[in-house]
Structure 1
């Protein structure tokens, strides 16, 4: 059987591993003991009922393959050296190590107590400052105001417009109107050093990737920001059987969980094609689209095929934060 090594157990990694479990010996290498559903992390801060639900065990993800709780410290086209000292050979490698962001945007499993402490701190806060008027800062503002309407919330960003000016004017206008209705103060053109003092301050920007584990044979794909150049088939240039997916890639599109999964689906199909000797498919970068909740009852959405959707539609789309999809993928679907 073909040995497939998936490095990283985030949204893209679990999707790729699951999709290939029936055709190869799949090993998923992931240092965390549980999958973290980051899509619902900000709601987990505001709503304690979510605080444990975002941590989902890997035990039932694969029926034939295995999940190795370890960290890859060196990956070459032939396999991976792990922090434990073990070495894994591979015929195909899928790099899916994702990105990191400041707490609480992407919490770690050991952050359970920190989530609870942050909830308590927000309950006692008079003024909260969010640095960054992108999707993260705006979503966090909505969650805070929904849970604690009396808390003063300020979003500061040196940019001249929210969301970096991306998306149609109608969409951004809807978001700004809803922020104003919630009482969120928006300070654009304002850097962190110019922002007002607050009881609590959260950095809502700064996604970073770590590709330092690449061996010399793969390192040429690394870009200055650490992301990896890939071919249209999502392979590392010059390497037929080494793929990269998700936030780790330099694919020119938004970095979102759904797109990491879209990458994984293309790569899984391409790996099957490789094994069968068939042609590989290209991945087409996705146009900008977003579902941006502002608390459980508000928000705005945009996709080119449907246009702008308002608070009710957005709240309905994100009502469960898609948790049921990941419970099903991980074999945890509720009866």
Structure 2
């Protein structure tokens, strides 16, 4: 009999965790494993703000799949753009632009998420996201470019707009991005003596009434105080009403002259999920506690793309938050369930109690809540960086990150632009490719054309 084919979609925490468990637990003759991913690396997303601020190099948080794999898994370089669960076909657009059908016996859907946007005039044309490695590298270049251009300009209005920066989103990504980049521009004053320190201003806004509410009121207020003491303007209950190339209008009526709008106001499940035509919860696939898709044989979903019941929460209807902590553990549990299905054994539900949250604000500033214990300052920083360091998957990655941290602490920041897309006004739509997915009709025609004819 032919070996069953396991197709894993996505190389994030969930997908890679699943593949590694499959490789270790399955005998070579039990199944074939394929991983569909547009990039042959796993990205450690929580450290993206430190890449944007130059504390870490991009390659230090991008773990090569080809370097670390056991050569059992076939990597399919491309993006999944549609799934037909009845025909058991995943449609993949390869990096060469070719559209191919990948048949499967078991499919693990871990395509992750995209930046959530709203119908705000000018937003998608003028905002930058913080969801991909390319976006983090671009934002670093862009911020340093604003310092250079402001330094070269003789026009006060232009200088003012180039030295004001707006970050939207008071969650972990937005808060850490604003904190790390604000430290970068503050350190830049020593290297740009012509710049007026009073002109450099960072704005952090969020429609929610509290900053990082998951941390609790006390730590949220501590983080606010740290940032406000640094000079960051924090506005809560406020969002963007309109975005233009050289200014942003807030919903409270304020108009901020700026050339930099960074949007981190939440995430939404990958558009791939919509191609299945299955039931969803706020865009995430509705799955069982075993992370199977009801009514679809051999289909599993997890991570940011699935509403996995949170059995440890003790609350009916609760689902696991889209965090790396859950994604990593869901990946191994799904792998165990796929193996159990192949071996005709019972599947087991996913259950994991949250271990806590960590927020690195740069330098010696941090707030953390491991196992419910509230920490601030250096103890919180030690826990935050210790957690991230231990979660990195390879010793090479751990060595690079630790070396970068030490070098930055000793030598400080550098203000070097790589010229990355320097002539292209790249925005969110240029990095996340949200328009590449198939419509139901396109998916049906693609699968039908590839079916054998009598």
Give the structure-1-normalised TM-score. 0.86
Q: Which residue of 1 aligns with 2:357?
A: 290
Q: Give the deviation of 1:54 after TM superposition.
A: 2.9
State the 1:211 CA deviation: 3.7
Larger radius of gyration: 2
Does the 8 A contact of 2:7 with 2:107 survive in 1?
Answer: yes
Q: Match for residue 111 of structure 2?
A: 97
Which residue of structure 2 lines up, in the alignment, with residue 172 of structure 1? 220
Is residue 2:102 matched to residue 1:88? yes
* Contact 1:211-1:227 within 8 A present in 2 as well: no
Q: Residue in 2 aligned with 1:229?
A: 286
Cα distance per residue 1:164-201 (max 9 Å; x no partner): x4332222222222222222221112222234414322
Mean Cα deviation higher: 188-197 or 113-122: 113-122
Aligned mates of 1:253, 1:41 — CA distance in 2:
22
In the alignment, the residues of structure 2 paired with residue 11 and residue 73 of structure 1 have an alpha-carbon distance, to the nearest angstrom, of 20
Contact 1:129 1:198 in 2 (8 A): no
Unmatched segments (≥5 aa) in structure 1: none
Matched, 1:161 2:171: no
Three-state SS of the structure 1 residue aligned to 2:67 is: coil
Relative distance call for 1:53 and 1:115 in structure 2 (3 A) is: farther
Task: Provide the C-alpha distance between the structure 2 equivalents of 1:270 and 1:306, rounded to a whole number of angstroms.
Answer: 31
SS of equivalent to 1:322:
helix
Q: 1:8 to 1:123 in 2, by over 3 A?
A: same
Deviation at 1:65, TM superposition (A): 1.3
Structure-1 residue corresponding to 2:193? none
CA distance in 2, matches of 1:28, 1:214: 20
| Aligned with 1:10 (options 4, 9, 12) | 12
Where does the alignment leave 5 or more consecutive residues of structure 2 unmatched?
Answer: 116-126, 149-161, 187-196, 241-249, 309-318, 401-454
Partner of 2:256: 197
Shift of 1:39: 1.7
Q: In structure 2, what is the Cα distance between the partners aligned to 1:16 and 1:209?
A: 19
Tell me, yes or no, if the aligned pair for 1:299 and 1:310 is still in contact at 8 Å: yes
Cα distance 1:332–1:136, how it changes in 2: closer, same or farther (>3 A)?
closer
Tell me the secondary structure at the aligned position of residue 86 of structure 1: strand
- Is 1:140 the counterpart of 2:177? The answer is yes
Q: What are the equivalent positions in structure 2 for 1:1-335 lying under 5 Å apart?
A: 1-22=3-24, 23=26, 24-47=31-54, 49-63=56-70, 64-77=72-85, 78-83=88-93, 84-101=98-115, 103-109=128-134, 111=135, 114-121=138-145, 123=147, 125-149=162-186, 151-163=200-212, 165-192=213-240, 193=250, 194=252, 195-199=254-258, 200-212=260-272, 218-223=276-281, 225-251=282-308, 252-284=319-351, 286-287=353-354, 289-303=356-370, 305-319=371-385, 322=388, 325-328=391-394
TM-score (normalizing by structure 2): 0.65
Q: How far did 1:325 drift? A: 4.3
Within 1, Cα distance between the matches of 2:205 and 2:387? 26
In the TM superposition, residue 70 of structure 1 has moved relative to its aligned partner by: 1.6
Conserved? CA contact 1:93–1:242, under 8 Å = yes
Measured on the aligned residues, the alpha-carbon RMSD in Å equals 2.8
CA distance, structure 2, for counterparts of residue 290 and residue 300 of structure 1: 9
Using the TM superposition, give the Cα deviation of residue 297 of structure 1 relative to its aligned residue in structure 2, in angstroms: 2.0
Output one character per residue of 1:235-267: Cα deviation in whole Å (capped at 9) or x when no partner: 111235211111001232321122111211211
Per-residue deviation, residues 86-138 of structure 1 (Å, max 9, x unmatched): 222212110000012274421254x5762442241364553222112222221
State whether residues 7 and 104 of structure 2, in contact with CA within 8 Å, keep that contact through their aligned partners in structure 1: yes
Counterpart CA distance in 2 for 1:311 and 1:104 is: 28
CA displacement, residues 261-308 of structure 1 (integer Å, 9 cap, x when unaligned): 1211211121222223322221236558321111142111124x3421
d(CA) in 2 for partners of 1:313, 1:253: 28
Query: In 2, distance between residues paired with 1:100 and 1:320?
Result: 27
What CA distance in whole angstroms lies between the structure 1 residues aligned with 2:204 and 2:355? Answer: 23
Structure 1 partner of 2:415: none
